Amino acid sequence: MQNNPMQTTCGAKTRKSHPCKTPPVRNRKRCRMHGGTNNGAPKGSQNALKHGYYTRENIAKRSELQKIIREFKALSGELNDQY
Ligand SMILES: [Zn+2]
């Protein structure tokens, strides 16, 4: 997560629906009140896993399948052009 040097405010939505004007924690996107000092869930945390649809492996598998489908469609398109 790179800090945008142009970003001078936290920008999180406050309870009054305005963007937070506090400067973010160094090298973070958010201020200390809006999670800037929080590292997030530890690697490998299973706390929010329900069906595994968005696990790294499943996302990679889907994009691989998508690639095969694209190639197949391109190939069938070539065949249609020829015959
Ligand atoms: Zn903030």
Radius of gyration (Cα) for the chain, nearest Å?
Answer: 22
Q: 2 vs 42, which has greater pLDDT?
A: 42
Query: pTM score, two decimals?
Result: 0.50
> Does the CA dihedral 43-50-60-28 come out positive or negative?
negative
Whole-angstrom Cα distance, residue 37 to residue 26? 9
Within a domain: residue 32? yes
Within a domain: residue 46? no
Counting Cα atoms < 13 Å in the Cβ hemisphere of 72 gives: 6
Q: How far is the CA of 36 from the centre of ligand 1 (A)?
A: 8
Within a domain: residue 15? yes
Within a domain: residue 45? no
Residues 32 and 60 in one domain: no
Q: How far is the CA of 11 from the centre of ligand 1 (A)?
A: 6
Residues 29 and 2 in one domain: yes
Q: What are phi and psi of 29, to 5 degrees?
A: -90, -30
Q: How far is the CA of 10 from the centre of ligand 1 (A)?
A: 4
DSSP, collapsed to helix, strand or coil, labels residue 60 as helix
Q: pLDDT digit string (tens) for 20-55?
A: 999 999 999 999 999 999 998 898 889 989 999 999
Q: How far is the CA of 58 from the centre of ligand 1 (A)?
A: 34
Residues 4 and 31 in one domain: yes
Total number of domains constituting the chain = 2
Q: How far is the CA of 27 from the centre of ligand 1 (A)?
A: 14
> Domain containing 72: what range?
52-83
Q: How far is the CA of 9 from the centre of ligand 1 (A)?
A: 7
